[in-house]
A = this chain, B = another copy of it.
């Protein structure tokens, strides 16, 4: 039994990984509709029998692909650390957010989820909650603390968080998703820093009496 878990499942597991990698490439490149199981098969090699042994049907394979890419692509979204000042936290949060969005996986995942949202409602919800939703929640929690301490003047922290992240995103993300243009690092950094400055000045507590 012990040696079994080393040899036998390992081959199966490696095969499964290989299938997942090939399927990821094809599904994200061509979309669920245009991608075919035979295409995956011809890339990974092997027979249909083993393919359908690991994943009972096309939908299951797609779900596995999305789950893996999601966890990989969205891992960089972390809550801002309490240390450091507001500017530093916003810079880091904005940079991480944009890097995730503009990463190859991020762009492909975004397109795939929007395309297949009607047919994979559960996946779409999980993608939102684990991606943009989580990021904005992290930031909103952060804002709530600062608001309680009077460091920032924010009416609704949740809305403010989404707005800051939306400002950081700008149109750069959509342009990249549509393939209209690929943003330069320079423009991205300029965008982030300008968003941070505008936001900080926009939420700075004014004079108390006014």
Q: A residues touching B (Cβ–Cβ < 8 Å)?
A: 31, 33-34, 110-111, 113-115, 117-118, 121, 124-125, 127-129, 132-133, 136, 155-156, 159-160, 162-172, 174-175, 177-180, 190-191, 194-195, 197-204, 206
Contact = CB atoms under 8 A, between A and B. Distances in A.
A203 B194 contact: no
B33 A178 contact: no
Contacts of A177: 114, 117
B167 A164 contact: yes
A203 B202 CA distance: 7
Nearest to A111: B114
Nearest to A165: B171
A80 B140 CA distance: 31
Contact of A125 (B114, B136, B180, B201): B180
Given A167-B164, A206-B201, A117 B127 contact: no
Contact of A198 (B31, B127, B163): B163
A129 to B, nearest CB: 8
A101 to B, nearest CB: 11
Contact of A166 (B125, B133, B167, B200): B167
A124 B166 contact: no
Contacts of A110: 114
Given A132-B174, A197-B202, 12 more contacts: A117-B178, A117-B179, A127-B178, A128-B174, A128-B178, A163-B170, A165-B170, A166-B170, A198-B199, A201-B201, A201-B204, A201-B206
